Amino acid sequence: MDQDLTTAIKVSEAVQAHFDVNRDYRGLQLIVGGEAQESQESLKELFIIMGVSILGVYFLLVLLFNSVWQPIMAMIAIPFGFIGVIAGFAIHNETLGFLAMTGIIGLSGVVVNDSLVLVDHVNMLRKRFTDKSLVEIVSLGASNRMRAVLLTSITTIVGLMPLAYGIGGADTYMGPMALALGWGLLFATPLTLLLVPCLYLIGDDITRGLAWLRVKMT
C-alpha cells in the first residue's frame, strides 16, 4: 500500500461501502481486520484518553482555583488549539493521523498554561486592589501577564519547529506531534489573551446575577 496515496482505514471504508459486511454471502462473510481494525481501535482509545485527560485537567484546576467556573475559562483555549492543529495540517497538506492526535492530547495540557497564569494573576489582583473596579483589575492583569504569556508560547513554538519541519534531521514519529503542538499553540495564544479577560468579566456578571436572583427569591 502506498501511504502517500491512501491509508488502511480509507481502503477498509471503501470496501465496506461497496460490500455489505453484515450480509451472509452463501456461507461467506467479510470481516474487517489487520491494520485497519487496529487503527480504528487505537483511535477509539485515543478519544477516550483525550476525554480523561481533559477531565483530569479540569478537576486539578478546580482544586487550584476553588471554583467550578474559572477552570472552564482556563480551558477555553483547548478547542482553539484544535483549530490551529487542523489549519496547520491543512496548510502543509499533511494527514491528521494517529501521531498527530497524540500530540493534540499533549496540547490540551500545554495550552492551559497561558490561561492559568492569567486567571491566577487576576484573582491575586482582586484580593490586593479591593477599591478598583473589576474591569480595571482584569485590564491590569492582562497587561501584566501579556509578556509572560507571549514569551512562554513563542519559546515553546520556536523550540518545536525544528523537530516539526525536520531541521537537522527528520523524525517520522515525533514530527507530526511537534507540528500539532506548535500550530495549536500558535492559534491558541492570541485568542487566549483576548477571550479569557472577556470570559472573566462575563463569569463575574453571571455570578452576581445568580446571587441577586437568590436574594430576590428568598
d(C-alpha 77, C-alpha 154), whole Å: 16
Please say whether the beta carbons of 82 and 106 come within 8 A.
Answer: no
pLDDT for 140: 92
To the nearest 10°, report the CA torsion of 56, 57, 62, 64.
120
Q: Which residues does the chain have with pLDDT short of 50? A: none
Query: Could you read off the pLDDT of 48-65 as tens digits, one per residue?
Result: 888 888 888 899 889 988
DSSP 66: T
List Cα–Cα distances, 11 to 37, 38, 95, 144, 206, in angstroms: 11, 14, 15, 53, 50
pLDDT for 116: 87
Range 98-124 burial, b when 16+ CB lie within 10 A, else e: ebbbbbbbebbebbbbbbbbbbbbbbe
pLDDT for 3: 65
- Which domains are assigned to the chain? 1-32 (no CATH), 43-217 (1.20.1640.10)
